[in-house]
Chains A and B, each alone.
Chain A
Amino acid sequence: MFTYNLRLALLSMKRNPILTALMVSAIAIGIGMATTTLAIYHVMSGNPIPQKSDQLYAVQLDSWGGNSPFKEPDEPPTQVTYRDAVALMQADKAQYQNASFQSALTVQSDNPSIKPFMVIARVTYNDFFPMFDVPFEYGGPWSKNADQDAEQVVVLSQETNEKLFGGANSVGKEISLENHRFRVVGVLKRWNPVPKFYDLENSQFGDTEDLYIPFSLTAPMQLQNNGNTSCWKDTGDHTFQGFLNSECVWIQFWAQLPTAADRDAYHDFLNAYADEQKKLGRFPRPLNNHLRNVTQWLAYRKVVPVEVRALVGLSFMFLMVCMLNAVGLILAKFLRRSGEIGLRRAVGASRMTLFRQYVVETAVIGLAGGALGLGLSWFGLLGLRHLLTSTTRVTHLDWTMVGTSLLLAIIASVIAGLYPAWRMVRIPPAMYLKLQ
């Protein structure tokens, strides 16, 4: 029965090629537009680390001062000061905790054919790797001792290892960073969480860092922050050490807290720490510390731009217009075939049979429109990739989106076809037979 319906549907589509093309393209354009914007929204609102997004917490300490909060209304800073970062690391109250920031460094290879070039480094503790489930190709993270003794060790990203060592196992090899010798201890596999949740200060949909070095090298190497540095108080004696001791916030701090009890305990610890600092004359504002897990953090930092939300809304209205258009065309097409209906009813086809016939026909149109729409959205995303060269990670179609948009196309077109089909089967057969 289904193949019969299908054959009739294809036959009827062939009979009116222009009308069919119009219907299919109306649906395709609507689906194409909706899929394009939805794909961007889907990537931007994605969960970058689903397996532990509810255990990883961004730490916010309100160390801000002056006469207004870090951000209205009464929001604490999104980063912490160097001295607080070091103190929280030393306290060691979470399963894992990590302080890190981004720094631009020049790397020199021992291979003279590779010219010195700039890399973006993440200056971090070794907890970073197990905490964020960072996958290693060769070697592994550096040791706790390396963190304590400020050893000159480095973990390379897959891309950097490719550039410096042609992708070979480079563990044990050496490179120069800012004229300091560094020993490679690990090489990562390709790793690119989107959004780059652990550091939203620098490009939120950008690439991960080129290499990773111990946080304890910050002072001896005078490493400069590549992201935002916000200060509410003058840095004092205007030296690098003065900057490290200052109230400037510029370090991202995360803690892994597996249970709600851990989380509450850590929050109490943060409050106790803040109270202690108040006694030392710091933290002039009221107690206002926060722990937000990955999902909450991404929502709080408004990672999905409002423009993208607006675009998704507009493109669904656009899809609605396309669908209304398709309903009109389908109705016109079906009504033109009233005679055929009358005939089939008269020779014994039940309303249900005919209804099924029309639903199958619109589903075929919907599927064709959806497939074409997917193609259009692929082109749309390709076009957007040319326009958005700094955030190309957001312009990709994944299988979830392909499935979603095909489903959307079929659902939308079947809904669009239901009314015309229902109208058709209510036609009294005699009326249309008369005219023939």
Chain B
Amino acid sequence: MEIRPILSAMLRNKTGAILIALQIALTLAIVCNAVFIIHGRLVMMNRPTGIDTHNIFVVSMTAYRPDYNAANMIRTDLDVLRRIPGVVDAAYTGSVPLSGSGSTDGISTKSDPKAPTVDEGEYYMDDHALKTLGVRLAEGRDFTHEEVVHTGWHEYTPPPVAIISRALATKLFPGQDALGKIFYEAGGRYPVTVIGVVDTLTNSYPSWHNYALTAIFPAALENKFSDFMVRTLPGQRDEVMKEVDGQLAKTHTGAYVRHLRTLDWYEANTFQADHALTVLLTVMICLILAITALGIVGLASFSVSQRTRQIGTRRALGARKTDIVRYFMMENWLITSIGVALGSIFAVALNFWLVNLFDVAPISWYYIPVGIVCLWMLGLLAVLSPALRAAAIPPAIATRNV
């Protein structure tokens, strides 16, 4: 295949080629970076949480009578919930897992308040926590009923025992067995013994970089607001939720159900903006690829119709149909190659701007070659139909006026 005549023909009509090449360059830059952002968000949204998310819902109660007894309310409500058919277990919780709202603390392995700390998310739950979350204990033991501390919010002090996630165990005690070790809460004031370790457990902040650093404390914080987690048998969540609403309304006069929401709802709510971003960027990618492809089709069709006579002449002089198709494919491939070469620079520059903005890791190198291959294919596919039309031009056309 002779490239020289293609090049010289392109040089005679530079504008069209430049326009397409620029479009391809910008498309490559946008698509690579958009896919990179989407990928990052999807990874974050699909991290393993360790929790049986789909079968859990949360009942939020609010007490309003002056004579309400929070301790009684928690106990009776949990009794009601645990007896409903289809319920695996129910637990008190101080904050809703994955909800984006809860408690954090900086903990340390030393009692010195000036010692460096590890920021982690904390759950305050009762002794039914693990079974309700659907988390299996990897090491050590579960909380006993007697270990659960019942206090008000302001009277709360950390209990002496905790179950922590493997990630937190590794962070606090690298290379050691965390079981039986002590860490300190609230600036070194309260020693806490690790009695159990679970493999994976996300805290209340799934989009935080310390999402996997989690500690559960056996505490029921008595308050006018109470949240209960309920885990049901697979597939029975929605029926049980309806049942719960009726049952609790019957038992209570001084409190009402503030919300009854699935854990899926909380998770989706936390990731709402991230989800919207991925959807918007996906739409952007699809549209830009379609527009660039249509642009290639449009300009190739135009150049075919302009060169009808030239094509006819070539055919009359013995060029086969495949030669004509190959000519247009080659021309398009050359233009796309110039575009992607320029686009690689654009993509890196755009990524540089985004990295400065987001404070994320720079784009992985392989996005660009993959993007280049995709655009080559897109270009060839787009030019195929005009090229076939060009090949169909009969040689006799060369003798006619068009």
Contacts and interface: CB of A to CB of B under 8 A. Distances in A.
Report which residue of A66, A67, A117, A390 has the largest number of chain B beta carbons within 10 angstroms of its beta carbon: A67
A116 B256 contact: yes
B3 interface: no
A325 interface: yes
A332 interface: yes
B27 A22 contact: no
Given A235-B154, A309-B357, A388-B276, 12 more contacts: A33-B287, A37-B280, A104-B225, A306-B358, A307-B277, A313-B353, A318-B30, A321-B288, A324-B23, A327-B19, A331-B16, A335-B302
11 contacts: A106-B64, A106-B256, A116-B64, A321-B292, A322-B291, A324-B23, A329-B298, A331-B15, A332-B302, A384-B280, A388-B276
A267 B3 CA distance: 73
Interface of B: 15-16, 19-20, 22-23, 26-27, 29-30, 33-34, 37, 62, 64-66, 113-114, 153-157, 186-187, 189, 224-225, 256, 258, 269, 272-273, 275-277, 279-281, 284, 287-288, 291-292, 294-295, 298-299, 302, 305-306, 350, 353-354, 357-358
Contacts of A318: 30, 284, 287-288
Contacts of B186: 234
A179 interface: yes
Interface stretch (A88-96, A145-153, A239-247): A239-247
A172 interface: no
A328 B156 contact: no
Contacts of B357: 306, 309-310
A173 B127 CA distance: 47
A179 B292 contact: no
A336 B307 CA distance: 12
B187 A321 contact: no
A242 B155 CA distance: 9
Contacts of A178: 64
Given A29-B291, A307-B273, A387-B276, A234 B189 contact: yes
Interface residues of A, dominant DSSP: helix
Contact of B269 (A36, A317, A390): A390
Contacts of B276: 384, 387-388
B124 to A, nearest CB: 15
Interface residues of B, dominant DSSP: helix
A328 B298 contact: yes
B29 A317 contact: yes
B157 A238 contact: yes
Interface of A: 19, 22, 26, 29, 33, 36-37, 66-67, 104, 106, 108, 115-118, 178-179, 224, 232-235, 238-240, 242-243, 305-307, 309-311, 313-315, 317-318, 320-322, 324-325, 327-329, 331-332, 335-336, 383-384, 387-391, 423
B26 A324 contact: yes
Contacts of A37: 280
Contacts of B113: 66-67
Given A66-B187, A234-B189, A321-B288, A108 B157 contact: no
Contact of A325 (B155, B189, B292, B302): B292
A19 B291 CA distance: 13
Contacts of A388: 272-273, 276
Nearest to B112: A67
Contacts of B256: 106, 115-117
